[in-house]
Amino acid sequence: MRPDPVTGPIAGLLLTPGASATREQPALVAVDEAATALGLAVDRIDFPYTQAGRRAPDRPPVLLETIRQGAAALAERSSLALGDLFLGGRSMGGRIASMAVADGLPAAGLVLISYPLHPPGKPERLRTDHFADIGVPCLFVSGTRDTFGTPAELEAATAGIPGDVTHVWIEGGDHGLRRKDALVAESVARWLATQL
């Protein structure tokens, strides 16, 4: 499906980068292209700290507000309701998007690429306190060799999400999913097509 010049986009997708990347991260660009081809309005946004040239991420309230503002801007630009937008991104960006939805930001679903379930080597420090408040469909695309969470760990943790959860495992992929951009984009596009 392509965007209809009369009726406009059928949905939207807001993408956010991981902690050490920008909106130009190759996997996000690939997902943007695949989702645009489906007829979605897509925005990729940066967080304030990267725009300012800083390395350390902003505090969570700033990151969350960036997601809220980005979603509002995309909804207004594309004449969609917030509930017609899919939110997500890579690693930290996806995690913050999921926290925004758990905190009440309306969304059609979450696209979470390389979700950082816990810091490498610290499986006791789970980043899942908000999972019980996520009531929208969720896609998790992760590598089978991701040190931020094994397939078994992530599947166990996401069992606590009330919304429908889909896992796509990229065989041999690490947290960065290097050289796997096409597979990631294809996986996201396939899932989005089932949700539209």
- pLDDT tens digit at each of 196 positions of the chain: 334 445 678 899 999 998 888 888 999 999 999 999 999 999 999 998 888 888 888 899 999 999 999 999 999 999 999 999 999 999 999 999 999 999 999 999 999 999 999 999 999 999 999 999 999 999 999 999 999 999 999 999 999 999 999 999 999 999 999 999 999 999 999 999 999 8
State the helix-helix crossing angle for 60-78 and 92-102, rounded to 10 degrees. Answer: 80
Task: Report the 10 Å Cβ neighbour count for 78.
Answer: 20
Q: Which residue has the tokens 């700033």?
A: 62
Residue 5 lies in a domain: no
Strands 11-16 and 85-90: parallel
Provide the domain count of the chain.
1
Domain ranges, residue 70: 11-195
Q: Is the dihedral of CA 58, 66, 184, 191 positive or negative?
A: positive
Residue 186 sits in a domain whose CATH number is 3.40.50.1820
Residue 2 lies in a domain: no
Residue 34 lies in a domain: yes
Is-contact 12 78, C-beta < 8 A?
yes
